[in-house]
Amino acid sequence: MSAGTVVVAGAGDVGLRLARLRLGRGDEVIGLRRGEGEPIAGLRWLRADLSRGDGLAALPRRVAALVFCAAPDVRDEAAYRALYVDGLRRAIDACDPVRVVFVSSTAVYAEDAGEWVDEATPARPPAFNGQALLAAEQVLAARPLATALRCSGIYGPGRGALLRKARGEQPGARRWTNRIHADDAASAISHLLDLDAPPPLLLANDDLPALEHEVLAWLRARQGLPPLAAAGADPDADAGPATGRRVANARLRATGWTPAFPDYRSGYSSLLAGTGV
């Protein structure tokens, strides 16, 4: 994408990381938030409520790209649909973007017995959050240069759920977990904006799905904490498959994207060392 105006709808953690990347590439960046935004040189803030449509009339009528990476304040079906389905449609109508990246989630998948999922896996969301996200993806179905980027669990500075779990002496379960560092999520979005023909659907994950008890054991060892016996960690004690699913990133990597943090060890080592905080 040549330099132009990029609207970041929902400019929170990942959105701000993306904004800095695009400003560095010479784009004009407009960040949409309900409240005040962090002052960043070159970033223009616009107060807007995506669920209601308030403030969107102030957007330019034609922009190079819209990145929709908002998150609802309330976890219920009405809030999810108002933001993701109606809000995405309103944002597109307001600024008529040439390109769209919608940050979706691997919550659209129902697999829960250790299966691998990729872009060819049918989406059968079992809960309202995945159902709303899938409905939002369908808003993009007829648009050229539009991509739904299904991210796995985003972690990074300020997103320390697994660190707290490890320090709280929870051994973890024999469940597959997937993650992507916030920096890598932002770099994947930015990468898609620069592709001549971005795929309509991609999955964003690091290179190494891992069992939860293995991640927590590593985090405890890395912090000098004693090991804990993990329930279900012994395959002989549990002949069934591990729960959860494994997210494949091969198609995103094939577009030329490379994660800076290819596994949980590299990502959490950075966090524990205090870099990027």
CA distance 44 to 64: 15
Contact between 133 and 98 (Cβ < 8 Å): no
Contact between 98 and 65 (Cβ < 8 Å): yes
Instruction: Judge whether residue 233 has pLDDT over 80.
Output: no
Bigger pLDDT: 205 vs 166: 205
Q: What is the mean pLDDT of the chain?
A: 92
Of all residues in the chain, the percent with pLDDT exceeding 90 is: 81
Instruction: Judge whether residue 237 has pLDDT over 90.
Output: no
Instruction: Judge whether residue 234 has pLDDT over 60.
Output: no
E strand or H helix that includes residue 51: none
pLDDT on residue 142 = 86
> pTM of the prediction?
0.93
Confidence label for 89 from pLDDT (cuts 50, 70 and 90): very high
CA distance 225 to 77: 40
CA distance 236 to 195: 47
The predicted model gives 164-184 an average pLDDT of 92
Confidence label for 235 from pLDDT (cuts 50, 70 and 90): very low
Instruction: Judge whether residue 275 has pLDDT over 50.
Output: no
Question: Which residue type is seen at 119?
Answer: E
pLDDT on residue 240 = 62
Of all residues in the chain, the percent with pLDDT exceeding 70 is: 94
Nearest CA to 4 out of 78, 45, 65 is that of: 65
CA distance 48 to 61: 15
What are the residue ranges spanned by the domains of the chain? 5-156+181-205+247-260
Tokens of 225: 């904490």
CATH number for the domain running over 5-156+181-205+247-260: 3.40.50.720
The predicted model gives 182-208 an average pLDDT of 98
Instruction: Judge whether residue 231 has pLDDT over 70.
Output: no
Which of 11-20, 41-50, 217-226, 235-244 bottoms out in mean pLDDT, i.e. has the lowest? 235-244
Instruction: Judge whether residue 238 has pLDDT over 90.
Output: no
pLDDT on residue 105 = 98
Confidence label for 236 from pLDDT (cuts 50, 70 and 90): very low
pLDDT in tens, 9-59: 998 999 999 999 999 999 999 999 988 878 899 999 999 999 999 999 999
Question: Which residue type is seen at 220?
Answer: R
Q: Is 94 helix (H, G, I), strand (E, B) or coil?
A: helix
Confidence label for 230 from pLDDT (cuts 50, 70 and 90): low
Bigger pLDDT: 71 vs 3: 71
DSSP E strands in 78-218: the ranges are: 99-105, 113-117, 146-151, 153-155, 175-177, 179-181, 201-204, 210-211
